[in-house]
Amino acid sequence: MSGSSGGGGGWGSFGDGPSCEDLVIHTQISSPVPAVINGLSKGDVLRVELKQGLDTHIVELTFKGKVAGGLSSAQVVKLIDCIRGGTQYQAEVQEANGGQVKVKVKAI
């Protein structure tokens, strides 16, 4: 039980980074769905949604109501905490090249 109420000092905890509103993540769509990502172009905006997995939360990106893929980044834990806290995000396509789609995730 001890240690569960601390601030996470010494670990480079997620509280040390930008605020939820200032969090920006540059990454690629993980586990892309070809039928959806093949239609993406630079400037397209995807919804960032939190889905409950079996034992964890998963960040999904959707475009026009269809799952485009997931999001994985070193900052995904911070992103999940921010979404759970009420901050909403979107992902803008920066580059689409076949199966690789680079996005910029930011608060809206």
pLDDT at 95: 95
CA distance 25 to 73: 8
Give tens-digit pLDDT for 43-87.
Answer: 999 999 998 877 778 899 999 999 999 998 889 999 999 999 999
Query: What length does the chain have?
Result: 108
Q: Is the pTM of this model over 0.75?
A: yes
- Check pLDDT > 50 for residue 4: no
Write 78-87 long-range contacts (CB < 8 A, 24+): 78/14, 78/17, 78/20, 78/23, 79/23, 79/25, 79/48, 79/105, 80/50, 81/14, 81/20, 82/20, 82/23, 82/107, 83/48, 83/50, 83/59, 84/50, 84/57, 85/20, 87/20, 87/21, 87/23
Mean pLDDT score of the chain:
84
Do 66 and 54 contact (CB within 8 A), yes or no? no
* Domain range annotation of the chain: 18-107
- Percentage above 70 pLDDT, the chain: 84
Residue 16: what pLDDT? 59
The answer to whether 93 and 46 are in contact (CB under 8 A) is yes
CATH top class, domain 18-107: alpha beta
Q: Give pLDDT, residue 28.
A: 95
pLDDT band per the 50, 70, 90 thresholds, residue 18 = confident
68: left (phi over 0), alpha (psi -120 to 50) or beta: alpha
How confident is the model at residue 99, as a pLDDT? 83
